[in-house]
Amino acid sequence: MTTRLQVLFEEAELREVQKAARRERMTTAEWVRRAVRAAQRTKPLSDTGRKLDVIRVAARHAFPAPDMEQMLTEIGRGYGGGEEA
């Protein structure tokens, strides 16, 4: 099933798209579809790989942290009126 999509361009932008389509001997619509597909391949909407890379880098670090009981006590103090630990 296909669906119509309307895209508004400034006149100069449209002329450039039309020139590019003519150079490749295709319709403007086909050129735009191919450009959108190419953009999807190079930059997917959900960049899972990049997110995983960032998590892997962060997981290599060893940050000092108190034990759970101490953290909960400090958090409780913070909620109880802003006293410092």
Query: pLDDT by residue (tens digit) across 35-74?
Result: 999 988 887 666 788 888 888 998 888 878 888 999 899 8
**Residue 68 counted as domain residue:** no
At residue 81 the predicted structure's pLDDT band, cuts being 50, 70 and 90, is: low
Kindly report, residue by residue over 15-36, the tens digit of the pLDDT: 999 999 999 999 999 999 999 9
**Residue 84 counted as domain residue:** no
pLDDT score for 45: 61
**Residue 1 counted as domain residue:** yes
Nearest to 16 by CA among 35, 1, 2: 35
**Residue 69 counted as domain residue:** no
**Residue 5 counted as domain residue:** yes
**Residue 25 counted as domain residue:** yes
Nearest to 70 by CA among 85, 83, 58, 82: 85
Strand, coil or helix: 31: helix
At residue 85 the predicted structure's pLDDT band, cuts being 50, 70 and 90, is: very low
**Total structural domains in the chain?**
1
**Residue 85 counted as domain residue:** no
Tokens (6 digits) for 39: 């953009």
Residues of the domain holding 37: 1-59
Distance CA 11, CA 61 (A): 52
